[in-house]
Structure 1
Amino acid sequence: MNGAAPAGQHGQSKAMLVLLGILWGLNWPAVKVALSGVSPWALRSIGLSAATCAVFALGLLRGRQLAIRSGRERMHIAVAGLLNVAVFNIVLTFAQLGAATSRVAIITYSMPLWSVLFARIALGERLDRLRACGLLLGAGGLAVLLWPLLGKGMPQGVLLALAAALTWAAGTVYTKWARLRSEPLAVAAWQLLIGALVALTGLLSFEGWPHWHGLAPQVLAALGYHILFGMALGYLLWFNIVARMPAGVASLGTLLVPVVGICGAVVLLGERPDASDLWGFALIFCAALCVLLPGGVAARRHAH
């Protein structure tokens, strides 16, 4: 009896991870469709607000301590929220307006490579052979992907996708450097709230309150999917998974997201990635595997 429960929980966690990969993967084409009728500021305001409410509700249902009492922790959470949630999500949404969804997804998921590089600089983490190989593969993948675009003029969406990956990586390393001691669910909830407030501030400053009448049915359907499944249910699943599985295994499982996202862009949006996109994706995917595999996840710091 005692041995069956953990095995059952592990199987359930893996199923949740697959479901999350599908939900977040399909969120890429959903966002692209929603952006045909809704502005990036409005999309992120409502999406991040839904995720914030869902995660706070989860914390309250679990009886977790959601208050952040330390001033130092509040400051670090505010900076991490700006990098990990606000800037990342907003820049990424604008990126999808200026480039193909599949290409944006490929570039965004170069994030693990940048996080390894930033961790080497900021945290002194050593580069073992696996992670060094990952960096080389990732650099090769980005070169294959971006080289054909240089002669034509780099699309703004590609540059914004790269900026989103860099911001996500910087926020991840910053959070690690800050060594936050607060309840992880509280840290996540407050970061999401910061992201929602920044997006709402941008919306009201640049556009004013949105008007939802007259939206095409496919835009409404995509917006509903993004709010309910991509954000609210997606984040609920993610924090349930993180609570059940090692962080490295959970992160490795998220590599399903760009695969589903690219397939979704091909099937639902009619995109046709060219050879450089596919080769670049293959190299970046293998690079992320090298970084996220157990040997690459372990942080090896210099001995003092």
Structure 2
Amino acid sequence: MTVRDRLLAVVVAVLWGANFIAIHVGLAHFQPIFLAGLRMLVLAVPTVLLVPRPRVPLRWLLGYGLGFGTLQFLFLFLGMYAGMPTGLASLVLQASGPFTLVLGALLLREHVTARQWAGIGVAVAGLATIALARAQSAALLPVVLTLLGALGWAAGNLSSRLAQRDGADVDPLHLTLWMTVVPPVPLLAVSALVEGPGAWAAVGAMFSGPGLPGLGALVYLSLVATVLAAGIWTGLMRRYPAGLVAPHSLLVPVVGMSLAMVLLGERPSATELVAGAVVVGGVLVASAPARRRVPVPV
């Protein structure tokens, strides 16, 4: 990768890490399920009007939207609303990497190397340590909800992969944008049932002085974190092997936890910090590309 593209990958990691601060701000102004649906609705309307639909099987587009766009953000937002620390949420969500490998092995019969299984084991051990530490303080539910969000992300990853495999000349950015068309209906329907129609009142309030931070958070979640950051990332993934680009995403929890400490005053325990380093290390090992064997001259 060129120096410019490495810097772009770091910029994306910073934008995605700051995404968790935006979620924290947004949840102070909106109900969690409603915010998840509204975020996608803001993108879905212009997508349907302006972006050509990618030629992929409908089942994989629905799977991508339900996994990545619906379940991930439904459980992540509920977890943070229930008390999951912002920085810790950015870390625990990295479980999507190991989850993707396991689901790929179970459902798609993809080959997982011994080294990748070892990395998964290390990451799971780190996550279990965090869960145990949280359980002792009666704060296990937010961790479980965030892990369910990571599982939804993993399911979306598989659907996205299958969509690009079975589709014709798929533009990854168009696929990502059309994914946002799926979540608004189920999310807003669940919001109406659980949170009530009063959740829509926050939309009008966000244009007033006290509501402007909520508007800023919504703009950041929809346009910056999704369109801008995903657009840059997609371009990098098209120009370089995944093994060169993907490890930069491990900077996301570093940025997320650092910003949460500086801006929100969060102070993770020593156990959580050590376990977090273990999780990141395990994900790095599990996601690293297999080494090619160099033929030995005879």
1:191 corresponds to: 179
What is the TM-score normalised by the length of structure 1? 0.81
Q: Distance in 2 between matches of 1:175 and 1:221?
A: 29
Instruction: Give the alignment's TM-score, normalised by structure 2.
Output: 0.83
Size of the alignment, in residue pairs?
A: 281
Residue 53 of structure 2 is aligned to residue 66 of structure 1: yes
Structure 1 stretch displaced more, 237-246 or 172-181? 172-181
> What is the match of residue 137 of structure 1?
122
Return 5+ residue gaps in structure 1 as ranges.
Answer: 1-6, 299-304
Q: Residue 44 of structure 1: which of 36, 40, 43 is its match?
A: 36
Q: Which residue in 2 is equivalent to 1:294?
A: 289
1:117–1:176 CA distance, 2 compared to 1 (3 A) = same
Look up the match of 2:230: 235
**1:35 aligns with one of 27, 40, 48:** 27
Percent of aligned pairs sharing the same letter: 23
How many Å separate the matches in 2 of 1:263 and 1:92? 19
User: Superposed, which structure 2 residues align to 1:118-157 within 5 Å?
Assistant: 118-157=103-142
Structure 1 contact 106–258 (Cα < 8 Å) conserved: yes
**1:158 pairs with 2:146:** no
2:98 counterpart residue number: 113
| Cα distance change, pair 13–200 in 1 and its aligned pair in 2 (3 A) | farther
Q: 1:229 to 1:54 in 2, by over 3 A?
A: farther
Q: Any stretches of 5+ residues in structure 2 without a counterpart? A: 293-298
Cα RMSD (Å): 2.7
Structure 1 residue 119 displacement after superposition: 1.7
The residue aligned with 1:210 is 201
Give 3-state SS (helix, strand or coil) of 1:130's partner: helix
Matching residue of 2:295: none
Aligned counterpart, 1:245: 240
Q: What per-residue deviation string (whole Å, max 9, x for no partner) do you get for residues 97-129 of structure 1?
A: 121112222211111111122222222233323
Cα deviation digits, residues 243-269 of structure 1 (max 9, x gap): 333233332221111111111111111
- Counterpart for residue 268 of structure 2: 273
Structure-2 change in CA distance of 1:15 and 1:37 (3 Å): same
